[in-house]
Amino acid sequence: MSQTLKARNCQAILDWIMIRELYFLLSLLQYTSAAAEMKEWKAVTPQNVTTQRGLCAQIPCHYPSYEDMEHATWTGIWINDGEPPTIVFHSKQLDKTVPRFRQRTRLSGDLKDGDCSLIIDNIMQEDEGSYTFKVEVPSKDSYISSVTRLHVSNFTDKPSIFAAEMVPGKPMNIKCTFNTTCERTTPILTWITPADILTSNSSSVTQKGNTLIYTSFLKLTPELKHHGQKLICRVSYPLDSSEQTLTLTVQNESATIWKKVLITVGIIFCIALAGFFIYRYIQKREEKRAPEIKESTVIYSPPFGIHQDTEHAAAQGYTKVPAGRNIGQGEPTRHEGPLYAQLQELPCRDTMVPKIETTEYASIRFQ
């Protein structure tokens, strides 16, 4: 019995050793695979980023995230490549950050999600330079991203002023807005108004996507004496400021009414003038299409020749009766029997159409 028990114990020990060796081999294989993947690790950052002095700056940074790696042990470090290089952000030991960047730098995302983007608040001119991101993995090498150049320009953004119609003695609200994407860099909106005008103001902040909208409302009662004076809305940061100017336009109500009347009369006059020109244009087109004016003469002819001409009628002793313009001149004469008339077509006046003569006969009987 004792030999059998010893044999079983030995077999168990051998099995445990084999399992441990197998686990070690699997761990080593996994580590080798992860290390091979890490050799291909690369953080993607832009070559250049531009921001304005006094605002904030964001340097985008992303890298592949591996599920089999323990990201909680990773350390993310942003370095300013100056002389000498300085640490501007350290994810594990904040005290390693140089005093100039403390409380001004942070990551916009999480390292475990592959987001290493850096945000710098209250940008100063001396923040301009080159920046590099480095990640340190325990028991492995450190990996460094490409270099990003940060450019700092003057503060040029201005607020916007929206004003309504100004009527003397009537209270009104004027709105001033300023948009920004910097969450921790808060602007201050202030008004500069004429000294003799009563005002009151209120403010609000709204968010639309990643944009913060700062709004200041100014309530005032303008008078005619304020016409042409300046109203200023100023946005201020710790390091810079800018402003927008509005010229007050205060008009008498009666003058405004007369202005509206004149505008209405002008519109009516323009419509009437356009109608007149259209009428004249149509009238000229109708005149061009009018038929030619024709004149004719009527000549008595004897009843026996249906194709008898005028000379033949005159030779037979028949009388030529006036027609057209000559109708009604002379003594009216009554004739017995049928009369025949010859009609001649004459061209219109003032035209170069050649003369065309045609002969037609009609029987005319007098009662």
Range 160-247: architecture per CATH: Sandwich (2.60)
Cα 301 versus chain centre, distance? 87
C-alpha 177/C-alpha 235 separation (Å) is 9
Whether 247 shows a pLDDT value over 60: the answer reads: yes
C-alpha 322/C-alpha 332 separation (Å) is 11
Burial of 90 (0-12, 13-18, 19+ CB in 10 A): middle
Region of poorest pLDDT, from 36-45, 85-94, 148-157: 36-45
**CA atoms 67, 72, 73, 77: torsion sign:** positive
- pLDDT score of 25: 47
Alpha helix positions (H), the chain: 2-39, 253-289, 310-315
Burial of 351 (0-12, 13-18, 19+ CB in 10 A): exposed
At 119, is the pLDDT very low, low, confident or very high (cuts 50, 70, 90)? Answer: very high
pLDDT by residue (tens digit) across 184-239? 889 999 999 887 787 888 999 999 998 999 999 999 888 888 888 899 999 999 88
Give the N- to C-terminal CA distance of the chain in Å, as an integer: 170
Instruction: Check residues 79 and 198 and name the one with the higher pLDDT.
Output: 79
- Evaluate whether 354 touches 347 at the Cβ level (below 8 Å): yes
Topology alike, domains 48-153 and 160-247: yes
The third-level CATH classification (topology) of the domain covering 48-153 is Immunoglobulin-like (2.60.40)
- Evaluate whether 89 touches 78 at the Cβ level (below 8 Å): yes
For 241, phi then psi, to 5°, come to -155, 160
- Average pLDDT for residues 281-306, to the nearest whole number? 59
List of residues 6+ apart from 145 with CB closer than 8 A: 42, 43, 44, 45, 61, 63, 116, 132, 133, 134
C-alpha 233/C-alpha 291 separation (Å) is 74
Q: What angle do CA 312, 314, 317 make, to 5 degrees?
A: 115
- Average pLDDT for residues 353-361, to the nearest whole number? 51
At 11, is the pLDDT very low, low, confident or very high (cuts 50, 70, 90)? Answer: low
C-alpha 118/C-alpha 74 separation (Å) is 16
- pLDDT score of 313: 46
At 148, is the pLDDT very low, low, confident or very high (cuts 50, 70, 90)? Answer: very high
For 69, phi then psi, to 5°, come to -105, 145
The arrangement of strands across the sheet holding 105-107 comes to 57-59, 118-120, 105-107
- pLDDT score of 111: 85
Domain ranges of the chain: 48-153, 160-247, 252-290, 292-367
Most confident segment among 65-79, 140-154, 346-360: 140-154
DSSP 245: E
The number of C-alpha atoms within 13 Å of 89 and in the hemisphere containing its C-beta is 23
